[in-house]
Amino acid sequence: MKRSLAIIGIIGLIVCFSVMVMTGCAKKTGVKEQAVSAEEQAAAEQGKAKADADAKARADEEARLAAEQRAKEAEAKVAPQAEAAAQQETMTSKDVLFDFDKFSLKPESRDILKQLAEWLNNNKNNILLIEGNCDERGTTEYNLALGERRAKEAMKYLVELGVDGKRIKTISYGKERPLDPAHTEEAWTKNRRDHFVVTSK
Amino acid sequence: MVLFMSCRNIGCFIRLVALTVVMLSILCLPHNAAAKVYIDIDSPAFQKFPIAIVDFRKISQQGYQGELSGWFSDTLAKYLEMTGFFNIISKKAFIEDQKQAGLTVESTRFADWAVIGAEYLVKGAFQSNGRDLASELHLFDVIKGEVITAKQYTGKIEDRNEMVRKFAGEILLALTGDEGVFGTKIAFILKKGQNSDIYTINFDGTELLRVTNLQSLTLAPRWSPDGKFISFTSYRNGNPDLYIRSMSIGKVEKIANFDGLNLAGSWSRDGRKLLLTLSKDGNEEIYTMDLGSRKLERLTHNFAIDVSPAWSPDNKRIAFVSNRSGSPQIFTMGADGDDVKRLTYDGNYNTSPSWSPRGNRVAYEGRVNGRFQIFSTNEDGSSSSQLTFDNADHESPSWSPDGRYLAFSTRGGGKHRICVMNANGLNVRVLYESVSGSMSPSWSPKIK
């Protein structure tokens, strides 16, 4: 019986000890845990904040870069377009003018055509229509022929300057489509012209 | 339509009043002699025919209430004046007592007409019933004291202009051997903004009609010799292509659409061929096209501009414009393109040749002191004469089918006009005036 009691006592002690140990351990680890947890939490919080900040910074940076990229891309896209349009407009806003009943190119006309040829050679996706025109004096029919000569003369020169003739079309409107409908020398000067129209292929 | 017959007394024409069917039956009067000697109205020495036209006698007038006596005489005077060959004597000068006088030789006091300078005299009568109208017209030779021609017409009130026009034609036929061009039309281009269309107007300035409505630039109309077709160039498909339009059914057919210019010159007299200007071979050259087979024959081989071909009436020669000598000048060549001769030498801009149907003259426009004027010259280039002189630009001459008139366009003072004048440059009459631009007249043949 004594032995039984002793065993019970030992077991009890063990249990107690175990419990003590367990609780003691538990206590200790609990604090420790707590401490670690706080540290960790702080660290985690700190890390998170940092990560967040980093992420934000990265995002910001990315956004900035993306925006920059977009801007660059847009710029890359728009700038040549705008430039091309501006150039195209410059190229086609200049008419080549002629003397009365003449279709030979004047020196200033050759300059205009040189610029146009250079532009056409750099913009191979574009095709050119040359419209030959005359002033109102003289016959419809002779002026249709003269307008055609004016357009073809410019075309010939552009081909000499290396532009593929297949990219150029000509049409004569004779005296029928005056730029300035007035019946003055000034209007006639403007109306004896080759007009250029550039379009994409 | 107007029915007309010759008849000597008023009684018989009354029976014609009810007739509305078109019927032509000319009973020549016995004294309308066969071997008629005509006065040469083309001679420079020609003096206008002095003619008196008496107000028409009213036999009866029922229904239509408008004034017709004076209308008949005034309208006939207007038509005769239009020809440029008549001097109409003022009614105020008339001394013959109309109450005593009649329509016959016997009842006409020729001395009363000779004394006021009339060499010719027209008397007439009319009667109307409802919308029906009958008229009778007599032309007298005052000097000889005889009837030259007499005609009767029946139709509707609204046909009265045509009755007078037909009798004016009869007077011309009797005196000159040709009935004139009263029934002809002039086609021309009327611009509206960037576009233009073909219109026609009658020789007397009436009946403006729109022929095309293509919503594009349409240019250079030319009549076929039977008046049933008009060729023209239009940008309706972007390029200046060549078309022919049937005047009766309005069908438009594309004839040529080569690269570059496709322009029609004149039609051959049998209507089977067209003279063309094409630039498909690199520069403007003249071709003929057989309208049946569409086969082309190239006539010119020259690096210069060759344009505006026009056949001589016998189709043996072709007048055209070329700048092969440095400035645009008129040349002629044989029907096969050989035997080229230069026609014009004066000035540095001569274009738009039109060959007279009589064969002897070529009309063209030339630049003098910065202005374009109409000229005509013999087919060998001799005796060129300037026909217009005023301070405007005169362009695109086109002969009437009888070769006695020229249609042309003028530009000046902000106005564009389609005009006609006698072959000697006199008697200029404006048929149409616009601000937007009227040009390129082409005279029709006599339309049957």
Which amino acid, B306? D
B34 vs B192: which has the higher pLDDT: B192
* The pLDDT of residue A60: 73
Whole-angstrom CA distances from B160 to A13, B27, B105, B330, B446 are 151, 21, 25, 45, 20
Name the burial class of residue B152, with classes exposed (0-12), middle (13-18) and buried (19+) by CB atoms within 10 angstroms of its CB: buried
Q: Say whether B396 and A140 touch across the interface (CB within 8 A).
A: yes
* The pLDDT of residue A7: 55
Residue B261 has its nearest CB partner, among A137, A148, A177, at: A148
Share of chain B above pLDDT 70, in %: 91
* Co-location of B349 and B439 in the same domain: yes
* Co-location of B425 and B284 in the same domain: yes
Kindly report the average pLDDT of chain B as a whole number. Answer: 89
Of the ranges A27-41, A43-57, B51-65, B381-395, which one carries the lowest mean pLDDT score? A27-41
Q: Say whether B305 and A176 touch across the interface (CB within 8 A).
A: no
Residue spans of the domains in chain A: they are 38-93, 95-200
Share of chain B above pLDDT 90, in %: 80
Angle subtended at Cα A73 by Cα A70 and Cα A75, rounded to the nearest 5 degrees: 105
* The pLDDT of residue A46: 60
Count structural domains, chain B: 2
pTM recorded for the entire structure: 0.80
* Co-location of B313 and B421 in the same domain: yes
Say yes or no to pLDDT of B129 above 50. Answer: yes
Q: In the predicted model, what is the mean pLDDT of residues B362-390?
A: 94
* The pLDDT of residue B99: 82
| Minimal CA separation from B367 to chain A, in Å | 8
* Co-location of B148 and B234 in the same domain: no
pLDDT tier at B127, thresholds 50, 70, 90: very high
pLDDT tier at B47, thresholds 50, 70, 90: confident
Angle subtended at Cα A40 by Cα A36 and Cα A44, rounded to the nearest 5 degrees: 175
* The pLDDT of residue A188: 95
Check if the interface score ipTM surpasses 0.90. Answer: no
Residue A172 has its nearest CB partner, among B261, B321, B348, at: B261
* Co-location of B161 and B211 in the same domain: no
Residue B11's domain spans which residues?
3-176
Which of B176, B193, B222 corresponds to the end of one domain?
Answer: B176
Say yes or no to pLDDT of B198 above 50. Answer: yes
CA B128 distance to own-chain centroid: 31
Angle subtended at Cα A139 by Cα B210 and Cα B197, rounded to the nearest 5 degrees: 15
Q: Say whether B220 and A141 touch across the interface (CB within 8 A).
A: yes
Query: Quick one: which of B279, B272, B225, B229 has its CA closest to B257?
Result: B279
Count chain A–chain B contacts defined by CB atoms under 8 A.
80
Residues from chain A that touch B365, judged by Cβ atoms under 8 A, are: 138-139
* The pLDDT of residue A76: 61
| Residues listed for chain A | 201
* Co-location of B152 and B103 in the same domain: yes
φ, ψ of residue B285 in degrees (nearest 5): -130, 160
| Minimal CA separation from B228 to chain A, in Å | 23
| Minimal CA separation from A111 to chain B, in Å | 25
* The pLDDT of residue B273: 96
Which residue do the tokens 């576009």 mark? Answer: B195
Which of B147, B176, B205 corresponds to the end of one domain?
Answer: B176
Query: Quick one: which of B356, B298, B301, B306 has its CA closest to B328?
Result: B306
Beta bridge partners, A172, equal A132
pLDDT tens digit sequence for A140-185: 999 999 999 999 999 999 999 999 999 999 999 999 999 998 889 9
Cα Rg, chain A, nearest whole Å: 45
Say yes or no to pLDDT of B28 above 70. Answer: no
Q: Does the residue B448 lie in any domain? A: no
For B162, other C-beta atoms within 10 Å of its C-beta total 17
For B79, other C-beta atoms within 10 Å of its C-beta total 23
B279 vs B359: which has the higher pLDDT: B279
Cα separation, B124 vs B135, in Å, equals 7
* Co-location of B433 and B310 in the same domain: yes
* Co-location of B167 and B258 in the same domain: no
* The pLDDT of residue B63: 82
Say yes or no to pLDDT of A111 above 80. Answer: yes
Q: In the predicted model, what is the mean pLDDT of residues B412-425?
A: 93
CATH number of A95-200: 3.30.1330.60
Which of B128, B143, B176 corresponds to the end of one domain?
Answer: B176
Name the burial class of residue B329, with classes exposed (0-12), middle (13-18) and buried (19+) by CB atoms within 10 angstroms of its CB: buried
